[in-house]
Amino acid sequence: MMTDKLSNLVAIVGKQRNFFQTGKTKEITFRLQQLKILKQAILENEKAIFQALQADLQKPEVESYISEIKVTQEIDYAIKHLKNWHKPKQVAVPWQLFSYSARIHPEPLGVVLIIGAWNYPFNLITAPLVGAIAAGNCTILKPSEIAVHTSNLLAEIIGKYFHPDYITVVEGGVETSQKLLTEKFDHIFFTGSKSVGKIIMEVAAKNLTPITLELGGKSPCIVDTEINLEHTARRIVWGKFLNAGQTCIAPDYLLVDQKIKQDLINSMKKCLIKFYGDNPETSPDYARIINQKQFDRLANLIKDGEIIIGGETNSGERYIAPTLLNHVSLTDAVMQEEIFGPILPIIEYTDITEAIALINSRPKPLALYLFTQNKKLQKQVLQETSSGGFCINDTMLQFGVPSLPFGGVGNSGIGSYHGQASFDTFSHYKSVLKNSFWLDLNWRYAPYKGKLSFLKRLLG
């Protein structure tokens, strides 16, 4: 079935193009109906989705619910706002063009490709799909082959609820992705690593295909002294160890004011025990590393610095304990590459300018977290750093607010989505100027003799 699809790629894309040409996907009633079908598909298959995520990542149901199933929130938001987003917007014209009117019309792009990563394998395919449907496109979905159970399930669900000429899943790994990329798409939406992002951009350039790149990086988390210690510890531990740290916007490392460092460490240790017990390996609420390759990479990173708590591993189970690291060096691998696992290095600073300088000396992160009640400090860090998103006194939840565009800047990505940003990503905003026939002044027509001085006065 999978290979069939791969050898028929040209035909699949061709059929989607033909379907797009019928104009059906441009109808708002059709789009709304398809969004409702997507929601229904998710709700009716909730149990199977939980099971697939459990099989891939041993993801606890609560985590799957919040971070994968609740993509339905994006659907509800799109259903609620679609008519408004889709409405052409009238804009002003210069007074000299008083007989004209100007509008901006969003229109769908055509046939789009969505490529997903393995860490939130259901959400990272379906969330952009909401935007593609809302904007009126046909879509080919390529889930990550690494989260194989979720990929299979997505293919099954999408195949059952949608016609393949409209939306279809093409499963497979790098080869499949590469084959897909030889086709001409009207947009490529990619979630994944920086290195593959570069490949996508290079291939897309050959066809002048617009792209969105949702990448990763090292997201810092600054902790000042003016905080509620217990709340701070809980929110950091939750954001870091959810999905065993395999989250693109997880706090990658802490930058802590040295005056509060030991208190924060003590509080986080208590919190870890409260969340996952004395032995997190036996906790039903703690996920596993996706595969052996990632496990080996992470097990190696633990060797850097000094373990405060955690550090235990079980290769057969692909288990890595939630680990806090002290005394890491900025040149250690754990501080050079995106961690993307349950390891949290803690670095202290004596003055906030040191923390800001460190962040600014590195590629722009996808998220930046700041814990402080000090408004002046909030303003300073916000103004003096650049990051895809910024979250004060919490972690991760910026991802769950549909009215906030989600995306990176610089090395952490290009473009954004969620809420209206998803609709915008998969739309072209067509500028439309309209004249009428009741007047046709001749100031712009040849012969130009004697018209320049008048034009200078008219146009200022």
Of the residues 142, 240, 288, 318, which one makes contact with ligand NAD according to CB under 6 A: 142
| Dihedral angle sign, alpha carbons of residues 170, 172, 176, 177 | positive
The pair of structure tokens assigned to 310 is 């955690």
**Which residue of the chain is nearest ligand NAD when measured via CB?**
216
Q: Is 214 a residue that touches ligand NAD (CB under 6 A)? A: yes
Instruction: For residue 64, give the nearest of 150, 146, 189, 156 by alpha carbon.
Output: 150
Q: Give the count of alpha carbons within 13 A of 398, CB side only.
A: 25
Task: Using CB atoms within 10 Å of the CB of residue 149, give its burial: 0 to 12 exposed, 13 to 18 middle, 19+ buried.
Answer: middle
# residues near ligand NAD by CB under 6 A: 28
Q: Rounded distance, CA 104 to CA 382, Å?
A: 33
Over the window 334 to 373, marking each residue x when it contacts ligand NAD by CB under 6 A and - when it does not, the resulting string is: ----x-x-------------------------x-------
Query: What's the min distance (Å) between Cβ of 14 and ligand NAD?
Result: 22
Of the residues 25, 45, 67, 144, which one makes contact with ligand NAD according to CB under 6 A: 144
Q: How far is CA 165 from CA 15, 115, 150, in A?
A: 5, 18, 22
Task: Please list the active-site residues.
Answer: 214, 248
Over the window 381 to 410, marking each residue x when it contacts ligand NAD by CB under 6 A and - when it does not, the resulting string is: ---------------------------x--
Our CB check for ligand NAD shows the closer of 193 and 393 to be 193
Of the residues 38, 53, 82, 115, which one makes contact with ligand NAD according to CB under 6 A: 115
Q: Is 253 a residue that touches ligand NAD (CB under 6 A)? A: no
Q: Is 215 a residue that touches ligand NAD (CB under 6 A)? A: yes
Instruction: For residue 114, give the nearest of 198, 16, 174, 189 by alpha carbon.
Output: 189
Residue 186 has a CB neighbour count (10 Å cut-off) of: 19
Of the residues 199, 273, 401, 404, which one makes contact with ligand NAD according to CB under 6 A: 199
The set of residues, in sequence order, having a beta carbon less than 8 Å from that of 223 and lying 6+ positions away, is 232, 236, 254, 255, 256, 257, 260, 264, 371, 372
- The stretch among 159-167, 188-196, 357-365, 446-454 that binds ligand NAD (CB under 6 A) is 188-196
Q: Is 192 a residue that touches ligand NAD (CB under 6 A)? A: yes
- The stretch among 85-93, 189-197, 259-267, 375-383 that binds ligand NAD (CB under 6 A) is 189-197
Which residues, listed in sequence order, are joined to residue 349 by a DSSP beta bridge? Answer: 257
Q: Is 118 a residue that touches ligand NAD (CB under 6 A)? A: yes
Q: Is 266 a residue that touches ligand NAD (CB under 6 A)? A: no
The pair of structure tokens assigned to 379 is 């303003």
Backbone angles phi, psi at 409, to 5 degrees: -145, 145
The pair of structure tokens assigned to 207 is 């066809």
Q: Is 116 a residue that touches ligand NAD (CB under 6 A)? A: yes
Helix, strand, coil percent content, the chain, rounded in steps of 5:
50, 20, 35
Residue 118 and residue 144 in contact, taking contact as beta carbons nearer than 8 Å: yes
Our CB check for ligand NAD shows the closer of 310 and 408 to be 408
Q: Is 413 a residue that touches ligand NAD (CB under 6 A)? A: yes
Instruction: For residue 68, give the nearest of 196, 212, 190, 242 by alpha carbon.
Output: 242
Q: Is 145 a residue that touches ligand NAD (CB under 6 A)? A: yes
For the chain, report the end-to-end CA distance as a whole number of angstroms.
Answer: 66
Q: Given the rule CB under 6 A, which residues bind ligand NAD?
A: 115-119, 124, 142, 144-146, 173-174, 177-178, 191-193, 196, 199, 214-216, 248, 338, 340, 366, 408, 413
